[in-house]
Amino acid sequence: MAKDLSVIVVAFDSADSVERCLKSIPSSAGRMEFEIIVVDNNSTDSTLSIVRSLGMAKIIENKANLGFAAACNTGAREATGKDLVFLNPDAFLLGDALQQMSAFEGDLSEGAIVGGLVIDEAGKVTNTLRSFPSLLNQLSEALFLYKLFPKSKTLGAYYYTHISRDTPMDVDAVEGSFFLIPRDVFERLHGFDEHFFLYSEDTDLCYRARQLGVPVKFFPGASAVHAGPEAGSRVSRRYILAMHLAQLKFIRRHFTGFKRAGSEFVKIVGLLIRVPFYLLLALATFRIGTAAKALYTFEAAIRGIFSSEPPETLFK
């Protein structure tokens, strides 16, 4: 039987957070007909046993880590909902977020991708909105100018830091941690591009949607808490290589000519500029993790010159 919503959660070693995530869904959906689909990317911890014990979700077990995009597509193929909601396992919904998000999308004159307001566990609004890459906003991001001048329309454009999060607005892209997309729109786009293993698949989806004339909306009336990568994992080789190489892959898949060459150049040079900054910060603070971040950032830049594919062993 068709549902109003299918909530798709892709899990990988998510034992610490998946229970809280799944338990937040029913109250958020209220009286809506919904289903939960958990796609497990070959977790090695107790994620699957926790999900089974809750008895709340249809479980799809991948025999290998297929990546976020491919796992999302697998879940979507099994979904029956009119709308699809993608929710990270380390996020949980607040209040009636699903009801509010569905109602907002339903009131629009045309189908749209809708991203909610995402905060961290300290209550701080996170940067889940994106502008598509340009030479200027890439430079601002690389040099952290958006942090120094967050209210600047020019320098804050990449993360929309210059705009209040109080009202709905049109944006280029929303992060994949919590968003809704009508099933028919998702099918028109043929789902996520599985060339993206992890990171930038959400920007790619929104980019292709915008090319088809499908709007991308930010809606603050639906909110979730997203823990995101822990401080330690933010300096991990996996996190840094995957994120930056995926951004280069987006540029190489969608841009041509001068725009592609310029964007590649700014991205790679921006990474190289960060290396001495991280090293000086490591010396000043005596933090080994910051020194490691410099090393991994340098590796991402060098690898990025020749390829946008992460090492095969990175996600094994």
DSSP string, 202-231: HHHHHHHHHHTT--EEEEEEEEEEE--S-T
pLDDT at residue number 312 = 63
| Homologous superfamily (CATH) for 3-125+165-226 | Spore Coat Polysaccharide Biosynthesis Protein SpsA; Chain A (3.90.550.10)
pLDDT at residue number 231 = 41
The pLDDT of 70-85, averaged and rounded, is 97
Q: Are 35 and 5 in contact (CB under 8 A)?
A: yes
Phi and psi, residue 96, nearest 5° = -100, 45
Tens of pLDDT, residues 201-248? 999 999 999 999 999 999 999 999 998 654 445 568 988 999 999 999
Average pLDDT of the chain is 93
pTM equals 0.94
Those residues with Cβ within 8 angstroms of residue 307's Cβ, 6 or more apart along the chain or in another chain: 245
Residue 2 clears pLDDT 50, i.e. is over it = yes
The pLDDT of 263-280, averaged and rounded, is 95
Q: Is 260 exposed, middle or buried (0-12, 13-18, 19+ CB in 10 A)?
A: middle
Other CB atoms within 10 A of residue 246 CB: 21
pLDDT at residue number 309 = 84
pLDDT at residue number 232 = 44
- For the chain, the structural domain boundaries read 3-125+165-226, 233-315
pLDDT at residue number 262 = 95
pLDDT at residue number 229 = 59
pLDDT at residue number 278 = 94
In the chain, the percentage of residues whose pLDDT exceeds 90 is 89
pLDDT at residue number 314 = 73
Residue 177 clears pLDDT 90, i.e. is over it = yes
